Amino acid sequence: MAYRPQAVTIDNCAVDHLVEFCRTNYLTKLFLVADKNTFAAQGKAAQEALLAAGFDLKSTVFTGEEVIADAAHVLDVLIAAGSDVRTYIAVGSGTLTDITRFASHRTHSQFISMPTAPSVDGFASIGAPLIVHGVKITVICQAPLALFADINTLANAPQAMIAAGFADMLGKLTSIADWRIGRLLWNEPYDETIAQRTLDAVQICVDNADAIGQGAWRASAGCWMRCSNRATACWTLAAPGQPRAPSIIIRTTGR
C-alpha cells in the first residue's frame, strides 16, 4: 500500500508530467476514470496524450448528472477495468478520486491522481469515504502513486467546488483542536510542526477569503498550493521503512 505519492506537480504541464511519469516507471497499461465534466476539463487531453505516446489505455467516463462514491459506481469501474492489471488514473475531484482509490486498492493496482478542482484537501490521503448502505464510512486504502494537477484547471473549477475546498481548510481548525485534545487526554501521537503548518495554511486561506470568493485566479491557486504544502508536512510522518517525502514541484505559472 502506498502511503504517499512518489511525485507531485502543480503547474500548467500536468499532462506532460503524467506521460513522462508513466513512461519512466514503465506503466504501460493504464485505466482512466472520469465523468463527463472532468473528462472535458482534463481527461480528454490526458487520454489523447497517452494514446499518442503509445500506452495501452482503457477509459470509463460516467455520463450521469451525479456521481456518488457508492457500491454502484465502484462496480461500474471494476467492470470497465477488466481483468488486466492496470494503473488507474483518477481525473476528477474528491468523489472520483475516492472511487478510483478504492477500486485500484482492491484490485491490487496503483493509481495516479489528476485533480480537476481544489474541492477537498484529501487527494493524497489513504482513506476513501464511501456510501455503504446509505451511511458514509471511510475505508483505508492507499495514497496515489503520483499526483499531477493543472493549475489553470484548478483555478477555473466551478466556484462552488472552490468554496468547498475553502471550507475543508476551515475544518482544520477543529481537527487540530481534536488532535491536541487527543494528545492531552489519551497521549496520542502528535507533531506540533505539522499542526502549525496546517494552521498557517488555514490562515493564508482566511486572509484571502474575499479574493477566493470573487474567483480571483491567484487566490484560488494559492489556496490549493497551501493545501499541498500542508499535505507535504503530513507525508513526513512516514511509516516504518517508507521514504520521508515525495518529489514535489509547485509553480505559480498559469494564465
For residues 222-246, average pLDDT: 48
Q: What is the number of residues in the chain? A: 255
Contacts of 128-131 spanning 24+ positions with Cβ under 8 A: 128/69, 128/98, 128/99, 128/101, 128/102, 129/69, 129/94, 129/98, 130/69, 130/70, 130/71, 130/74, 130/98, 130/102, 131/68, 131/69, 131/70, 131/71
Is pLDDT above 70 for 251?
Answer: no
Is pLDDT above 50 for 253?
Answer: no
Q: Where are the alpha helices (DSSP H) in the chain?
A: 14-24, 36-38, 44-52, 71-81, 94-106, 151-155, 159-170, 172-186, 192-207, 209-213, 217-235
For residues 37-64, average pLDDT: 97
Q: Return the DSSP state at 39.
A: I
So what's the pLDDT on residue 155? 86
> Cell 488514473 sits at which residue?
89
Whole-model pTM: value is: 0.85
Is pLDDT above 90 for 235?
Answer: no
* Burial class of 72 by CB neighbour count within 10 A (0 to 12, 13 to 18, 19+): exposed
Is pLDDT above 70 for 178?
Answer: yes
Could you give the percent of the chain with pLDDT greater than 90?
64
Question: What average pLDDT is seen over the chain?
Answer: 87
Is pLDDT above 70 for 15?
Answer: yes
So what's the pLDDT on residue 215? 72
> What 3-state class would DSSP assign to 146?
strand
- What's the CA gap between 170 and 19, in Å, rounded? 34
Is pLDDT above 50 for 62?
Answer: yes
So what's the pLDDT on residue 239? 43
So what's the pLDDT on residue 241? 47
Could you give the percent of the chain with pLDDT greater than 70?
84
Q: Which residue has the higher pLDDT, 44 or 242?
A: 44
Q: What are the angstrom distances between the C-alpha of 178 and each of 2, 172, 183?
A: 26, 9, 9
Is pLDDT above 90 for 44?
Answer: yes
Q: What are the angstrom distances between the C-alpha of 133 and each of 19, 72, 232?
A: 38, 11, 34
Element (H, E) at 171: none
Of 3.90.950.10, 3.40.50.1970, 3.40.920.10, 2.30.30.100, the CATH number of 7-155 is 3.40.50.1970
- What's the CA gap between 149 and 196, in Å, rounded? 25
Is pLDDT above 60 for 125?
Answer: yes
> What 3-state class would DSSP assign to 253?
coil
What does the domain layout of the chain look like in residue ranges? 7-155, 159-237
| Phi, psi for residue 147 in degrees, rounded to 5 | -135, 125
Three cell numbers written together for 129: 469515504
Residues 84-119 have pLDDT tens digits of 999 999 999 999 999 999 999 999 999 999 999 988
Q: Residue 213 — pLDDT band, cuts 50, 70, 90?
A: confident
Is pLDDT above 70 for 227?
Answer: no
